[in-house]
């Protein structure tokens, strides 16, 4: 993301300080949510915008974050709840591919610090969801006002409905400087309709070291493209011990097209990971993706037998890593796949 482009936006002088606060001091939280023990959900790093439609430069600045059509195709929610002198307004929502995203505004009677930690939850009503992954972000604007964003991709054994009801709630607002927390239940429920999309199936399979990859589904809509990449192997390894890492998309002139990570899930037999890009013109492309061993160096949250997340100590996690390294010693640390696809 090139924040230097902010300098090219012509805004009134009195908005300059607000612009700097919104886009130069951002706080991002990524999280994983596993709701059944047999599915392992991964997060892929990506950045999402914080913004408010109260700013005259709202639509201009939003374009910088490579989601150029987001505002044009989002649904106005404008639901407001006030509890304990804090008013939260859900501004807009969007349902694209398997992803639901929304923006919200928090207005308080007092200053709660420039950085907040928000306890949030976004789910789909009456849907059997096997897992979800996403990211959230909140930033201070001015006048005791904050704006936030939450983005979640959902994994389900069945196709998500074309129309759904999103349940969003905030149960705690914490001043990160003082650790003072305001607890309440700001709970919202609103319908969203999936943006009309074109689905392209690609049966081309790429093999490397006994591991396989394919673009299982390419979803194209007005917001951009969503790619579902499926991995599996014939060497007897559990795919829960691997994760996909994006590299890039190249067009026929080898020009690189930026990808945004969304998330993914793994089962014993296969793994599926999702990425997004801007809309692409007709042509021939190559999706270049890397498969890595899921070996880390820090603490980790894992699902127990009941699907509840539990923290594993660093000592335990080192042991898990060593055992995994031994099991996977005959597998390369990085397996690269180049998957061709066509947009017609």
- pLDDT tens column, 47-85: 333 333 444 333 332 333 445 566 677 888 889 999 999
pLDDT tens digit string along 299-335? Answer: 455 444 444 456 667 777 778 778 888 999 999 999 9
Flag whether pLDDT at 8 surpasses 90.
Answer: no
Structure confidence by residue, pLDDT tens digits, 260-294? 776 777 889 999 888 888 889 999 999 999 998 87
DSSP state of 160: P
Q: Give the model's pLDDT for residue 128.
A: 82
**Residue of 55, 60, 93 whose CA lies nearest to 74:** 93
* pLDDT at residue 24 tops 70: no
Instruction: Give the chain's end-to-end CA distance (angstroms, integer).
Output: 28
Q: For 8-39, b where at least 16 C-beta lie within 10 A, e where not — what string?
A: eeeeeeeeeebbeebbeebbeebbbbbbeeeb
Is 70 exceeded by the pLDDT of residue 21?
no
The rounded distance, in Å, linking the Cα atoms of 197 and 159 is 14
Tell me how far apart the 2 most distant CA atoms of the chain are, in Å: 62
Query: What number is the average pLDDT over the span 21-48?
Result: 40
pTM (2 d.p.): 0.70
Task: Give the C-alpha separation, 250 to 252, whole Å.
Answer: 7
From 236, 330, 241, select the one nearest 292 (Cα to Cα). Answer: 241
Q: Distance between CA 19 and CA 21 in Å, rounded?
A: 5
Distance CA 258, CA 256 (A): 6
Q: How many Å apart are CA 43 and CA 31, to the nearest integer? A: 7
- Sequence-distant (6+) residues with CB within 8 A of 1 are 47, 64, 65, 66
Tokens linked to 308: 């509840």
In this prediction, what percent of the chain has a pLDDT beyond 70?
Answer: 74
Cα 194 from chain centroid? 17
Give yes or no for residue 164 having a pLDDT over 60.
yes
- Cross-strand pairs, 245: 290
The proportion of the chain whose per-residue pLDDT surpasses 90, expressed as a percent, equals: 36
Taking a C-beta distance cutoff of 8 angstroms, is the pair 300, 281 a contact? no
């Amino acid at each position: 993301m090139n924040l230097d482009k902010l300098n090219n936006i012509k805004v009134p002088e009195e908005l300059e300080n607000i612009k700097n606060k919104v886009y130069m001091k951002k706080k991002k939280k990524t999280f994983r949510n596993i709701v059944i023990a047999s599915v392992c959900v991964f997060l892929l790093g990506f950045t999402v915008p914080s913004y408010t439609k109260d700013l005259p430069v709202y639509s201009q600045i939003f374009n910088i974050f490579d989601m150029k059509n987001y505002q044009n195709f989002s649904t106005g929610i404008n639901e407001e709840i006030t509890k304990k002198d804090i008013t939260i307004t859900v501004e807009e929502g969007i349902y694209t591919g398997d992803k639901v995203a929304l923006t919200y505004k928090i207005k308080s009677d007092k200053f709660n610090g420039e950085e907040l930690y928000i306890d949030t939850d976004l789910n789909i009503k009456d849907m059997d969801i096997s897992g979800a992954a996403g990211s959230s972000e909140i930033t201070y604007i001015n006048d005791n006002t904050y704006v936030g964003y939450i983005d979640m991709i959902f994994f389900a054994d069945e196709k998500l409905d074309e129309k759904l009801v999103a349940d969003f709630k905030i149960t705690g607002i914490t001043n990160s400087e003082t650790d003072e927390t305001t607890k309440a239940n700001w709970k919202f429920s609103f319908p969203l309709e999936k943006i009309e999309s074109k689905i392209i199936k690609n049966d081309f399979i790429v093999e490397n070291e006994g591991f396989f990859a394919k673009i299982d589904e390419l979803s194209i809509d007005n917001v951009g493209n969503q790619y579902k990449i499926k991995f599996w192997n014939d060497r007897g390894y559990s795919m829960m011990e691997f994760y996909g890492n994006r590299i890039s998309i190249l067009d026929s002139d080898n020009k690189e097209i930026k990808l945004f990570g969304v998330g993914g899930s793994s089962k014993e037999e296969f793994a599926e990971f999702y990425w997004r890009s801007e809309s692409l013109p007709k042509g021939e492309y190559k999706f270049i993706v890397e498969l890595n061993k899921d070996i880390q160096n820090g603490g980790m949250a894992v699902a127990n037998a009941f699907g509840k997340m539990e923290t594993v100590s660093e000592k335990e996690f080192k042991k898990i890593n060593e055992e995994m390294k031994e099991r996977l010693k005959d597998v390369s640390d990085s397996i690269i796949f180049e998957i061709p696809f066509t947009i017609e």
